[in-house]
Amino acid sequence: MAVIGQDIKQAIRLLEANEVIGLPTETVYGLAGNAFNAEAVTKIFEVKNRPTFDPLIVHTSSIERISDFVREIPEKAQLLAKKFMPGPLTLLLPKKENISDLVTSGLETVAVRIPNHPLALELLQNLDFPLAAPSANPFGYISPTSAQHVDNQLGTKIKYILDGGECKVGIESSIIGFIGDEIIVYRKGGLAIEVIEQVVGKIKIQEHSSSNPQAPGMLKSHYAPRTQLVILNSQFSTGGIPLINSQFSIGFLGFREFHPNIPRENQLILSPTGDFREAAKNLFAYMRALDVRGFEIIYTEILPEIDLGRAINDRIRRAATLEN
């Protein structure tokens, strides 16, 4: 297993030796390596078992430092950066030569993010290169929101995980790109679309598709847990699950309320007060907690399509193997 600790010097030593480490951020934990170094970037893909057509996000510590590896920042991107960075926002910007095709999977844009986490920022400030970091989960599984999650899944493959506690946002960053005058959301994430639109006006939502090369990594089953996860229609979630057969062991991941027809000890509720932020923070941790219980099936439900509910629903839909 990896060493889990808060030793920034150790993290720096490993990163400078082109090793990869577990990195805390406010969204989810990352698997970080020197973005300017091919050996480190190659290791990231290997450890994660990630296909090389799926590009990485590059993390830095300040807006000024973005220009180290980005050619230009469009006006609207600057507005968003000033308002929301550091924060759960990733901007797609034209890359400089020092970002290799390996990082961007051959795209001309690089994904850029400033994580809003004190330990991550301190680390980045003390490095003279930015960090490429995808979420620190094996490809196809849900993202980790604690150092322990990272260790459980990648602990045999990496030496060190910087422990920054539980992630406060809990879902990945919102990814925004700029094509001409258009502003496009490629991934709904920890920054709500409504909040982004307050700053730059209407934005376009690019639907996810595994065949769309403009949004690589948006594979439909991207966030799947191991146990079969089934979305209930609201008619069922209010009226009880029809045909529940007691020979099945059933779990339930609910938004606000317990399901009346399932044993309470088999249920986790994302936010009893209906708070989207709390729900996002708990989402992946609760999916994991239910996943290891060995249920035959886990039922879940869709949240209202507003605010962070949209990003949460996106994760739930990807994780679900079929809709009921």
**Which DSSP string do the residues of 246-303 spell out, in sequence order?**
TTS-EEEEESSS--TTS-GGGEEES-TT--HHHHHHHHHHHHHHHHTTT-SEEEEEPP
Site string for ligand TXA, 184-213 (x = CB under 6 A): --x---------------------------
Number of residues that bind Mg ion (CB under 5 A): 1
Nearer to Mg ion, 219 or 270 (CB): 219
* Rounded Cα–Cα distance for residues 12 and 35 (Å): 14
Site string for ligand TXA, 38-57 (x = CB under 6 A): ----------------xxxx
* Rounded Cα–Cα distance for residues 236 and 141 (Å): 27
Under the binding rule (CB under 6 A), the answer on residue 111 touching ligand TXA is yes
> Residue 109 binds which entry of ligand TXA, Mg ion, none, with Cβ cut-offs from 5 to 8 Å by kind?
ligand TXA
CB 58 within 8 A of CB 103: yes
Under the binding rule (CB under 5 A), the answer on residue 174 touching Mg ion is no
Instruction: From residue 73, give the alpha-carbon distance in Å to each of 76, 80, 124, 199, 245.
Output: 8, 10, 21, 16, 57
Under the binding rule (CB under 6 A), the answer on residue 25 touching ligand TXA is yes
- Give me the least distance between CB of 39 and Mg ion, in Å please: 22
* Rounded Cα–Cα distance for residues 51 and 139 (Å): 8
Closest by CA position to 145, among listed 57, 270, 24: 24
Nearer to ligand TXA, 146 or 237 (CB): 146
22, 24, 130, 134: residue in contact with ligand TXA (rule CB under 6 A): 134
Coil, helix or strand at residue 194:
helix
- Give me the least distance between CB of 240 and ligand TXA, in Å please: 36
- Give me the least distance between CB of 254 and ligand TXA, in Å please: 25
Under the binding rule (CB under 6 A), the answer on residue 135 touching ligand TXA is yes
Nearer to Mg ion, 56 or 192 (CB): 56
Nearer to ligand TXA, 123 or 218 (CB): 218
Coil, helix or strand at residue 72:
coil
* Rounded Cα–Cα distance for residues 237 and 23 (Å): 38
Residues in the chain, overall count: 324
| CA Rg value for the chain | 20
Position closest to Mg ion via CB: 135
Q: In this structure, what are the phi and psi dihedrals at residue 79, rounded to the nearest 5 degrees?
A: -60, -50
- Give me the least distance between CB of 259 and ligand TXA, in Å please: 30
20, 21, 24, 27: residue in contact with ligand TXA (rule CB under 6 A): 27
Instruction: From residue 118, give the alpha-carbon distance in Å to each of 114, 167, 287, 315.
Output: 11, 12, 27, 26
Nearer to Mg ion, 25 or 282 (CB): 25
- Identify residues 102-161 at the interface with Mg ion (CB under 5 A): 135
Point out which residues bind Mg ion (CB under 5 A): 135
Residues that bind ligand TXA (CB under 6 A): 25, 27-28, 30, 54-57, 90, 92, 104, 107, 109-111, 113, 115, 133-135, 172-173, 175, 186, 215-218
